[in-house]
């Protein structure tokens, strides 16, 4: 969907320290977050990052805990890269890209320990809350991963836990209080475009990138990382990407806080 | 349904205050997904659908290619968080059937013969479900296909009539859907006066059926107007942007 | 499997008000129903409609009810369009055609309220009868849907409910009484062939049809409808099809009644 | 199986009254599915199989085509309502294995080399199961292939021997199947005196095995006669119909 | 992977009563068995038969019995023919070959009655041991089936049953005693190569064979048989194969006994 | 993980007696699967991987063929009996992700452009798992690819650093894996000084991250030596066999 000439143009610009839309390499596009977007979800958020739009919805249900974590609720993150969002996406079961997307976001949330899974236990060994976060990209304008990670954590912060009936089944539409979260993990991905380290690419820049590194962080800590792409990073590039991502996450976290009312 | 159940329609007033032949508020917008060739957002009350349309484009896998006409693909899906209970991703028997009857509703209005071997594809997703999701999907798909410039004889419009507490009503929703007696979605092509989709569940006499069919057709006419308006608004928007900055790639539009 | 010339011939005939085998447009082929055909099913029926043959078998088992209908048994209708019945059918999981077939018949039965699902509850919230209706076309001589719908309702009328052992498991081959049914829903499909409205087509007529409308009815009421096919119906055609289907169902119902001993 | 179990064969009489070397009643009929190229219905007692055969015909998907011989496809399936517990539709490990060994049983009798790239396909369905379903399937498939005019050197015939209460018996069924010690289905090609399928489950000495093998072969010879008779009856039927009304499409035959 | 010329050469040799490596027709390659090979399995064995190597691992877990065998543990045998072992094997779900392999070995074990499934019942109707035998061919040097069958039974003889905790869950790494087995069923496959009956072929001989017959036996009895391949056997060939396989199994059983310390 | 948990690292000594920057014992062997073009066995302590490499060879299905470079396929799988709980065969979300990031780690070192349309395929299986299975897999795959004669600029080496009881350690294993705070596997290409895989789970400050990264790189250098040694040993072995009996097909090697 991107021509060879466009790719070469973007790469040449990158080598010269420039971007087509004039942004600095570490400059994000405008970030907007709208929580409560999907009324039938227990929590949801629509994230707009330039032309990119990602919706995340959280559904809560009551289920049986895993045998080895019998006192903990269950968090599941799922993503689809469906064809509505991009001519390059296909129908069918999630492929590597969607699976990796879901798993990177899952680890960012899980490893940050922002959710107290023990607080989601209703009856040990028997009944716990199952928290399903579904990521639904609406328009792939580039950098879906960061938008999706922000949408996921914003949607979790939007969650109202339903009340339970006498059979310990959730009563749809009720609210027994918000899901308590301790942190706001933010993924920031650095892309390598012709050797330059670039953040928040549009889809043409992303298609021109040879490697990427996602760094998810909370206040004070990195909590998850994932390198991807067909090429590699030098050690100093990795370190630089981690530092910049951490700093950038601090900025973006403020936008999330405002959106979720913290 | 037991006969002694509490009436939900009291004196021709419906639970949400509508008259028997009144639709829920409709919003429709074209051009909401910049990466798709055409797209639309369509809401009937709290039922919300988006659609992305592509084509004519090269079709994969190749064995689907038809040497004499374009292959029309229509995929209806529900977002996992669109309903009370999470919807498992991937096709279900229900979604497969809805995709198929919806595709058939568009089959006759698109000039498929003009694009042999090509694929024309529409992807519909229900973001929020409160009855008539297949109708909202078809209405969004119509606008998206037109927005993509796919040549069509007419827009397809869709809504449901139903029967609740013995009364024939337009655009069943909420309690009416869970407690009502009949749901009957149709798709209608006004210019040809043709029924392109018709499903009915529940007990109707022949006379009630005729009444419901006429009511649903009237609803479709109202929707048709909204679809046309959305497309007009879209053309004005594009034209004014081109006037402003020349024919550049257009910026993203609000989804809702 | 049908040549263009055959199709054109059939369409020309239809336009002239004729059919290859001389039947009237609303005339069905000979309908035969044999219940109890499959001895290992709790109920079964073989329906013959001209060359078309469809077998339906019902299996009963004990299972857990759905949470939102905890006092009701479960009805499931499944259909396969396997390659034994027609050179056009393929192996593999059910495709659109078989799924639609099963769902249209399912709705015809379910919406007619002919089965009292609450009577199939054994222990509320815990154990209920699961009723599986499997539709198995043997030979596709056209109009499988109507034959299948008749086979399904006849097979249900043939059901003997097994006795239960002390562990609330069905004892195969025993009979604690028949499944009680209140109505006999009958689907009748109208096909549009070159503008003419035709019933009970053979497979060549069916392959020549541009649209179809299935109307399932019980005494006094339509209970389910489904439009299919690549073309559409005019309003007056829909109304006419509904009226004729209702009348035709009344005729066919008598054949079913006789076969199931009502 | 505990050694103290109640005997089910009392003095060379079997639960259903048969002698040790006696088969259940057999019915066989060719030409029962008009839309298939060839077809058959075969019953051994209350085990009932039908088979439809196609071919040689164009083979899909194309990558299965063999440039030097026809591809033989054999699909064995059980109707969901054919057994005590409902059989989930779709292939299982069991049905996959049976399909494969059954296909191999036919591989050498069909002149596959005469139809390069083509497909010859047999679809077998068990309508009612009471032991030896793979045998009944093979017997039906043989007739169906011949009925379809597929050139073969011989009909394949199949039945099982077994061991119950220490006795070698023919055509295990019912209680014998659930309580017996051994089941040994074979497929046999009389003209070439070849074993085309052989499976055995349970404990047999070498001598018992030889005895069972000979008994099963005798059973296959009896089945072979029924198969030939069914095909003769079919030819007579077709011929008389042609004589009556000229070579028209033939009417449907009774399935059972 | 084997050329036509090689195949013809092997077939001509066979007709002359010879094999490429000079072995007699009923002569096996060197058999080595190493139990305890996979430390995280409850039992395992690596079998080497010439160049052929097959690993079998047994995992034990606690599960619910089938309703119709409520007092018995559950034995499951699974095999994959993965691409690491041969250029002819493919990724993806098990195909006919792998399914047949697993089922033939399963039946050999099951029908020999060597496992007392009732002894694997923990609480009738509720908790039983589930015994999963997984067959993992490492290198396909021919005759995988016999090697796999030997690996499976050796691995079962290696099984240490874990202790159970208070929730009746196995405690990984503990040992409450060995799995008791009554017999050592051994599968021996006879291949027909150009009419000659050959045992333990290498992969080129196996690729040249037209039919095969696997005979699994224990002391005194045959317990399972399976004919395979695109061609057939004469009656006397079947009988000869059964006799030779039985005799050969008696030899091989001694190697197994030594390996498992019996 | 609660803060009051019992320390498992006491005074810079780890549960298994290793120093903080010490790897588990490594064994590596090339040429262990005679039917594969190249193969290897690699163990880090009780984590054991084998790999088989093929290629360049014809690629199926054809639609995967790339006209300008070879298609690199990397499949990571765990043997069902390799862990405490049996692993269900077939790809999981976890194994799909690991396969993908591992493939990417090899993408830049193989001269894919030299073999347009071809497939180069590596199949990795974990026989025994005790942490760092993706690392062991990559290390085995590297040797197997080189053993298969696939032209590469360098061997890829992989190991993990981690954080346990607040200390940065090399090659997390056993209790450290289940109780520790951080696991960070990397893959490293020494000749180019490039990070080809990097994943991190758990809480690390930026400084700790830098420390862990340097430690993991050192670990990779040690592994690299073992990989090179395994390949040298393999060449010597092959050469001596050829000298002995001429260039015949080589005999099977010990898997472990």
Distances in whole angstroms, Cα of residue C77 to Cα of each of C32, C59, F21, F42: 22, 11, 63, 53
Chains B and A touch (3+ CB pairs under 8 A): yes
By Cβ distance, the residue of C91, C138, C203 closest to D33 is: C138
Measure the CA–CA gap between E69 and E72, rounded to whole angstroms.
6
pLDDT-derived band at B255, boundaries 50, 70, 90: very low
User: What whole-number percentage of chain F has pLDDT above 70?
Assistant: 94
Region C4-9: mean pLDDT is 93
pLDDT of residue B114: 96
- CB of E169 within 8 Å of a chain A CB? The answer is yes
SS3 call for A8:
helix
Q: D: neighbours with 3+ CB pairs under 8 Å?
A: C, E
Question: Which residues in chain C have their CB less than 8 angstroms from residue A169's CB?
Answer: 67
pLDDT-derived band at C103, boundaries 50, 70, 90: very high
| Residue whose structure tokens are 């006999």 | C184
pLDDT at F109 over 70: yes
Distances in whole angstroms, Cα of residue A148 to Cα of each of A78, A80, A106, A186, C228: 11, 11, 11, 10, 39
Measure the CA–CA gap between F119 and F116, rounded to whole angstroms.
9
Chains C and D touch (3+ CB pairs under 8 A): yes
| Residue whose structure tokens are 């004070």 | A220
Kindly report the length of chain F: 256
Contact residues for E209 (Cβ-Cβ < 8 A; gap 6+): E191, E192, E193, E198, E201, E229
Question: Which residues in chain B have their CB less than 8 angstroms from residue A33's CB?
Answer: none
Kindly report the length of chain A: 262
pLDDT at C4 over 70: yes
pLDDT at F252 over 80: no
pLDDT-derived band at D250, boundaries 50, 70, 90: very low
Question: Which residues in chain E have their CB less than 8 angstroms from residue C167's CB?
Answer: 67, 125
What angle, 0 to 180 degrees and rounded to 10, lies between the N-to-C axes of helices F206-245 and A235-260?
A: 140
Look at A51 and B34 and tell me if their CB atoms are within 8 Å: yes
pLDDT at D21 over 70: yes
pLDDT at F251 over 80: no
Look at E103 and D217 and tell me if their CB atoms are within 8 Å: no
Measure the CA–CA gap between A49 and D187, rounded to whole angstroms.
68
- CB of A54 within 8 Å of a chain B CB? The answer is no
If one compares B209 and C68, the residue with the highest pLDDT of the two is: B209
Which pLDDT tens digit goes with each residue over A34-85? Answer: 999 999 999 999 999 999 999 999 999 999 999 989 999 999 999 999 999 9
Measure the CA–CA gap between C44 and D256, rounded to whole angstroms.
14
The CATH H-level superfamily of E4-260 is: GHMP Kinase, N-terminal domain (3.30.230.70)
Look at A38 and B128 and tell me if their CB atoms are within 8 Å: yes
Q: Which of E220, E197, E85, E227 is nearest to E147 (CA)?
A: E85
Alpha helices in F8-157 (DSSP H): 93-107, 133-147
pLDDT-derived band at D246, boundaries 50, 70, 90: low
Residues of chain E with pLDDT under 70: 1
Q: What is the mean pLDDT of chain C?
A: 97
- CB of C80 within 8 Å of a chain D CB? The answer is yes
Look at D123 and C203 and tell me if their CB atoms are within 8 Å: no
Which two structure tokens, joined as six digits, stand for B186?
């149709």
**Sign of the alpha-carbon torsion through A72, A73, A74, A75:** negative
Measure the CA–CA gap between F36 and F147, rounded to whole angstroms.
10
Question: Which residues in chain C have their CB less than 8 angstroms from residue B193's CB?
Answer: 234-235
Question: Which residues in chain A have their CB less than 8 angstroms from residue E165's CB?
Answer: none
pLDDT at B4 over 60: no
From E82, which residue of chain F is nearest by alpha-carbon distance? F123
Measure the CA–CA gap between A41 and B81, rounded to whole angstroms.
5
- CB of A63 within 8 Å of a chain C CB? The answer is no
Mutate which of F75, F93, F109 to test chain A, going by most A C-beta atoms within 10 A? F93
pLDDT of residue D4: 56
Q: What is the mean pLDDT of chain D?
A: 93
Neighbours of F53 (CB within 10 A): 28
Q: H or E stretch including A96? A: helix A96-111
Nearest CA distance, C67 vs chain A (angstrom): 9
Q: Which of F155, F171, F187, F145 is nearest to F51 (CA)?
A: F145
Residues of chain A with pLDDT under 70: 1
Q: What is the mean pLDDT of chain F?
A: 93
Measure the CA–CA gap between E101 and D93, rounded to whole angstroms.
11
Q: What does the domain layout of chain F look like in residue ranges?
A: 22-247
pLDDT of residue B246: 59
Taking any CB pair shorter than 8 Å as contact, residues of chain D touching chain C are: 32-37, 39, 46, 50-52, 54, 57, 75, 77, 79-86, 89-90, 121, 123, 125, 127-130, 251-252, 255-256
Question: Which residues in chain E have their CB less than 8 angstroms from residue C169's CB?
Answer: 67
pLDDT at C168 over 50: yes
Region C44-56: mean pLDDT is 98
Look at F125 and E38 and tell me if their CB atoms are within 8 Å: no
pLDDT-derived band at D253, boundaries 50, 70, 90: very low
Q: F: neighbours with 3+ CB pairs under 8 Å?
A: A, E
Region F100-123: mean pLDDT is 97
pLDDT of residue F253: 41
Region D210-220: mean pLDDT is 98
Look at A107 and F96 and tell me if their CB atoms are within 8 Å: no
Q: What does the domain layout of chain C look like in residue ranges?
A: 4-260
Nearest CA distance, F233 vs chain A (angstrom): 30
Region C80-91: mean pLDDT is 96
SS3 call for E123:
strand
- CB of A67 within 8 Å of a chain E CB? The answer is yes
- CB of C61 within 8 Å of a chain D CB? The answer is yes
Contacts 24+ apart (CB under 8 A), D7-12: D7/D165, D8/D164, D8/D165, D8/D175, D8/D176, D8/D179, D8/D180, D9/D164, D9/D165, D9/D167, D9/D169, D9/D176, D12/D167
pLDDT of residue B5: 66
Which pLDDT tens digit goes with each residue over D120-155? Answer: 999 999 999 999 999 999 999 999 999 999 999 999
pLDDT of residue C245: 98
Phi, psi of A170 (to 5 degrees): -65, 140
- CB of E67 within 8 Å of a chain C CB? The answer is yes
- CB of A233 within 8 Å of a chain B CB? The answer is no
**Which residues on neighbouring strands pair with residue E153, listed in sequence order?**
none
pLDDT at B51 over 90: yes
C-alpha dihedral over C169, C173, C178, C181, to 10 degrees?
Answer: 70
- CB of C67 within 8 Å of a chain A CB? The answer is yes
If one compares C87 and B244, the residue with the highest pLDDT of the two is: C87
SS3 call for C58:
strand
Q: H or E stretch including A150? A: helix A144-157
Measure the CA–CA gap between D256 and D252, rounded to whole angstroms.
12
Beta strands across the sheet bearing D38-44? D26-30, D38-44, D47-58, D118-128, D71-78
From B83, which residue of chain A is nearest by alpha-carbon distance? A40
pLDDT at F250 over 50: no
- CB of A93 within 8 Å of a chain E CB? The answer is no
**First and final C-alpha spacing in chain B:** 37
- CB of E84 within 8 Å of a chain A CB? The answer is no
pTM, two decimal places: 0.95
Cβ F111 vs Cβ F102: under 8 Å: no
Taking any CB pair shorter than 8 Å as contact, residues of chain D touching chain E are: 93-94, 96-97, 99-101, 104, 107-108, 184, 189, 192-206, 209-210, 213, 217
* CA angle at C13 for the pair C7 and C15, rounded to the nearest 5°: 105
Which pLDDT tens digit goes with each residue over A22-33? Answer: 999 999 999 999
- CB of E5 within 8 Å of a chain C CB? The answer is no
CATH of F22-247, one of 3.30.230.70, 1.20.1250.20, 3.30.70.360, 3.40.50.300: 3.30.230.70
* CA angle at B184 for the pair B180 and B187, rounded to the nearest 5°: 150
Chains F and C touch (3+ CB pairs under 8 A): no
Neighbours of D105 (CB within 10 A): 28
Region B14-41: mean pLDDT is 97
From F83, which residue of chain E is nearest by alpha-carbon distance? E40
Question: Which residues in chain F have their CB less than 8 angstroms from residue A103's CB?
Answer: 93-94, 97
Which pLDDT tens digit goes with each residue over D56-110? Answer: 999 988 889 999 999 999 999 999 999 999 999 999 999 999 999 999 999 999 9
Measure the CA–CA gap between A137 and A206, rounded to whole angstroms.
16
Mutate which of E107, E145, E227, E245 to test chain D, going by most D C-beta atoms within 10 A? E227
By Cβ distance, the residue of D192, D197, D205 closest to E227 is: D197
From C247, which residue of chain B is nearest by alpha-carbon distance? B206
Please write down the HEC assignment for all residues of F5-19: CCCCCECCECCCCCC
* CA angle at E216 for the pair E212 and E218, rounded to the nearest 5°: 155
Which two structure tokens, joined as six digits, stand for B147?
């927005």
């Amino acid at each position: 969907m991107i021509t060879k000439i466009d790719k070469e143009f973007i790469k040449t610009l990158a080598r010269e320290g420039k971007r087509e839309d004039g942004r600095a390499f570490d400059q994000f596009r405008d970030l907007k977050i709208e929580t409560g977007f999907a009324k039938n979800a227990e929590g949801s958020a629509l994230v707009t990052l330039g032309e990119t739009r990602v919706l995340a919805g959280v559904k809560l249900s009551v289920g049986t805990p895993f045998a080895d974590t019998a006192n903990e609720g269950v968090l599941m993150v799922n993503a689809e890269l469906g064809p509505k969002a991009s001519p390059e996406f296909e129908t069918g079961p999630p492929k590597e890209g969607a699976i990796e997307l879901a798993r990177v976001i899952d680890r960012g949330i899980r490893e940050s320990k922002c959710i107290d899974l023990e607080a989601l236990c209703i009856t040990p060994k028997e009944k716990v809350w199952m928290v399903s976060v579904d990521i639904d990209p609406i328009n792939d304008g580039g950098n879906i991963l960061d938008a999706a990670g922000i949408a996921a954590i914003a949607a979790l912060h939007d969650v109202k836990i339903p009340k339970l009936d006498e059979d310990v089944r959730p009563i749809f539409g009720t609210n027994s209080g918000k899901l308590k979260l301790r942190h706001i993990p933010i993924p920031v991905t650095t892309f390598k475009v012709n050797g330059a380290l670039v953040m928040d690419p549009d889809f043409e820049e992303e298609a021109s990138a040879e490697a990427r590194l996602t760094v998810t962080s909370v206040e004070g800590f990195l909590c998850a990382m994932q390198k991807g792409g067909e090429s590699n990073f030098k050690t100093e590039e990795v370190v630089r990407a981690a530092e910049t991502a951490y700093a950038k996450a601090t900025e973006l976290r403020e936008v999330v806080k405002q959106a979720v009312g913290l | 349904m037991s006969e002694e159940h509490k009436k939900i329609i009291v004196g021709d007033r419906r639970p949400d205050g509508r008259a028997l032949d009144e639709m829920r508020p409709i919003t429709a917008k074209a051009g909401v997904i910049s990466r798709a060739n055409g797209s639309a957002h369509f809401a009937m009350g709290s039922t919300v659908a988006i659609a992305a349309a592509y084509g004519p484009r090269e079709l994969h896998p190749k064995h689907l290619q038809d040497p004499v006409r374009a292959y029309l693909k229509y995929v209806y899906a529900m977002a996992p968080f669109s309903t009370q209970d999470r919807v498992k991703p991937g096709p279900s028997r229900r979604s497969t059937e809805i995709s198929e009857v919806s595709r058939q509703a568009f089959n006759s209005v698109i000039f498929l013969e003009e694009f042999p071997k090509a694929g024309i594809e529409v992807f519909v997703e229900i973001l929020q479900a409160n009855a008539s999701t297949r109708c909202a999907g078809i209405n969004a798909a119509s606008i998206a296909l037109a927005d993509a410039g796919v040549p069509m004889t007419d827009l397809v419009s869709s809504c449901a009539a139903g029967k609740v507490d013995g009364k024939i009503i337009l655009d069943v929703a909420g309690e009416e859907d869970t407690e009502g007696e009949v749901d009957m979605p149709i798709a209608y092509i006004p210019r040809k006066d043709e029924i392109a989709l018709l499903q009915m569940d529940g007990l109707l006499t022949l006379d009630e059926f005729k009444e419901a069919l006429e009511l649903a057709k009237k609803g479709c006419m109202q929707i048709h107007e909204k679809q046309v308006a959305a497309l007009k608004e879209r053309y004005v928007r594009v034209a004014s942007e081109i006037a402003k900055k020349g024919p550049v790639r257009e910026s993203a539009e609000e989804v809702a």
